[in-house]
Amino acid sequence: MTTHTGVTRVLSVVGARPNFMKVAPVARALAARGVEHIVVHTGQHYDPDMSGTFFRDLCLPLPDHNLEVGSASHARQTAEIMVRFEPVCAAAQPDIVLVYGDVNSTVAAALVAVKLGVPVGHVEAGLRSGDRSMPEEINRIVTDHVADSLFAPSRDAVQNLRAEGIPSERVHFVGNVMIDSLVTALPAARALDAPARHGVRKRSYTVVTLHRPANVDNRDTLRELLETLAIMSNGGPVLFPVHPRTKARIEELGLDVSVSRTLRLLDPIPYLEMLSLVAEAELVITDSGGLQEETTWLGVQCVTVRPNTERPITCTVGTNRLAPPRREAIIVAVREARARPAAVPPTVERWDGDAARRIAEVLCDENRFD
Ligand code: UD1
C-alpha cells in the first residue's frame, strides 16, 4: 500500500450538500499546516441553495474544479463523475485524495483515485445501517474497502470496520467533522435568530426534512407523511424546507400540500439559517444523517423517519428515535420525544470540534488516533 505520510498536496472531492460541512473544517486544518489543498466539486448538487450558499456560509473558497455532472441515474451520475474526475486527478498528482460521507460523488472519486494509484482517505468511514436497499450503504461499503486511511467519527464505526476485516492501522478514530463545522458556526447561527425571522417562538416549533427515496418516491408514503405533518402542525408550527427531490415528487404526484396553515413548506435553507432554526427547535423530524448528529450535539429531540440508522449512537444517548414512515408510528415517536425533559446535551466522544485537526495530524505527522 502506498504511504501518505507527510503530505504536501491534498485533493478533496465533494459534490452534494452534506459534503460541504465536512470539507470546510478539513480545509481550515490543512491551511493551518501549510498543506496545498485542491477542492474538486463534482456538481452532483448544483442549485445555488443546495451548493453555493453553503460555500458562502462555511467560508469555503470556490472549488478549484467543477465537473458539472448534474443529476442522472445512479449509474450515469457515478460513471460521469469517474470519467470527468480521472484526468483532473491524474494532472493534479495529489499525495492523497480525500472523499467525504456516502454520496455518489464519494464512491466515484474513491474508485478513480485508487485505480490511479493515489491513496484514498475516507472522512466519515465505518458507518453502517445494515440496509443495503439504501444507495448510501453501498457507497459506504465500497469506499471503505478501497480506502487506505479511514477516518471514523465514532467508536461503533471503528468496530464496524474491524468486523469487516479492515486492518486497524488504516483506521483512525478522529471524531466527527460535521460537528467541527457546527461548533465553528453556532455563534453566527444563533446571532441570526432565524426563529424570529420566521415568526416562531423558540422551543415551540418543529423542523422537518425528508428526501430519502424510500420516503418521498412512493405516492402513498409521501401523502401519509404530509398528512401526518399536517396533523402535527395543529400542535405548533412545522417548518419544512423541501429538498428539490421531494419538491419534484410533490409536484409530479399532484399532491395537495395546502393541508394546513401551520405546516409551512419552504425552499431549501442555507447552513447558518438552518442551524439557527434547529438549535432552537422543540423537535426535529428528519431522514437526514447529518441532522441526527447535529440534534444530538445540540440536545434537541429528533425523530428519524427510517427503519434503521447508520448513526446508532444518536439513539443510544437518548436524543434520537426511529419511526417507519407511518402516521401512527411517527405520532407515537413524537409523543415520546416531547415527553423527554429538556436536558444537558449529551457528550459524545470526540465530537468536540477537533476532528479535522486530528485528520491533519494523521496526514502530516503520522499521528495515530485509536
Ligand atoms: C443525495 C445523496 C444523499 C444525500 C442527499 C443530500 C446519493 C446517492 N444521495 O441525494 O445521500 O443525503 O444528496 O441532499 O448521493 N436536484 C436539484 N438540484 C440540485 C440537486 C438535485 O434539483 O442541486 C434534484 C434533481 O431532480 C435530482 C434529485 O434532486 O434528480 C436528486 O438529487 P441526487 O443528487 O441524485 O440525490 P439526492 O436525493 O439529493
pLDDT (tens digit, 9 = 90+) per residue, 219-254?
999 999 999 999 999 889 999 999 999 999 999 878
How much of the chain exceeds pLDDT 70, in percent? Answer: 97
| Cβ–Cβ < 8 Å for 302, 283 | yes
Q: Which of 49-63, 67-81, 258-272 has the lowest mean pLDDT?
A: 258-272
CA of 162 to the centre of ligand 1 (A): 31
Three-class DSSP labels, 263-328: EEEECCCCHHHHHHHHHCCCEEEECCHHHHHHHHHHCCEEEECCCCCCCCHHHHCCCEEECCCCHH
CA of 45 to the centre of ligand 1 (A): 6
CA of 231 to the centre of ligand 1 (A): 28
> Which atom of ligand 1 has the smallest separation from the CA of 105?
15
CA of 362 to the centre of ligand 1 (A): 31
Mean per-residue pLDDT for 177-200? 98
- Model confidence at 3: pLDDT above 50: no
- Model confidence at 217: pLDDT above 70: yes
> Which atom of ligand 1 has the smallest separation from the CA of 289?
12
pLDDT (0 to 100) of residue 6: 85
* Pocket lined around ligand 1, Cβ cut-off 6 Å: 16-18, 44-47, 50, 71, 102-104, 135-136, 211, 243-245, 248
> Which atom of ligand 1 has the smallest separation from the CA of 72?
30
pLDDT tier at 258, thresholds 50, 70, 90: low
pLDDT (0 to 100) of residue 252: 87
- Choose one of 14, 55, 77, 103 to mutate for the ligand 1 pocket test, by most ligand atoms within 8 angstroms of C-beta: 103
Residue closest via CA to ligand 1's atom 31 equals 245
Residue closest via CA to ligand 1's atom 22 equals 244
Helix (H, G, I), strand (E, B) or coil at 71: coil
Q: Which of 16-20, 222-226, 255-259 has the lowest mean pLDDT?
A: 255-259
Residue closest via CA to ligand 1's atom 36 equals 245
- Choose one of 41, 71, 243 to mutate for the ligand 1 pocket test, by most ligand atoms within 8 angstroms of C-beta: 71
| C-alpha span between 286 and 278 (Å, rounded) | 11
pLDDT (0 to 100) of residue 88: 98
Mean per-residue pLDDT for 126-144? 97
| Side-chain-facing half-sphere of 216: CA atoms under 13 Å | 19
CA of 249 to the centre of ligand 1 (A): 12
Give DSSP secondary structure letters for 26-70. Answer: HHHHHHHTT-EEEEEE--SS-SGGGTHHHHHHTTPPPPSEE----
User: Which active-site residues does the annotation give?
Assistant: 211
> Which atom of ligand 1 has the smallest separation from the CA of 106?
15
pLDDT (0 to 100) of residue 259: 52
Mean per-residue pLDDT for 48-54? 97
pLDDT digits (tens, 9 = 90+) for 187-196: 999 999 999 9
CA of 299 to the centre of ligand 1 (A): 28
pLDDT (0 to 100) of residue 341: 73
| C-alpha span between 353 and 357 (Å, rounded) | 9
| Cβ–Cβ < 8 Å for 152, 177 | no
Q: Which amino acid is at 212?
A: R
pLDDT (0 to 100) of residue 1: 42
| C-alpha span between 197 and 190 (Å, rounded) | 12
Residue closest via CA to ligand 1's atom 33 equals 71
pTM comes to 0.96
- Model confidence at 2: pLDDT above 50: no
Contacts of 261 (CB under 8 A, 6+ apart): none
CA of 106 to the centre of ligand 1 (A): 13
- Model confidence at 255: pLDDT above 80: no
pLDDT (0 to 100) of residue 4: 53
> Which atom of ligand 1 has the smallest separation from the CA of 213?
38
pLDDT digits (tens, 9 = 90+) for 305-352: 999 999 999 999 999 999 999 999 999 999 999 998 767 899 999 999
**Per-chain mean pLDDT for the chain:** 95
Q: What are phi and psi of 80, to 5 degrees?
A: -65, -40
pLDDT (0 to 100) of residue 262: 87
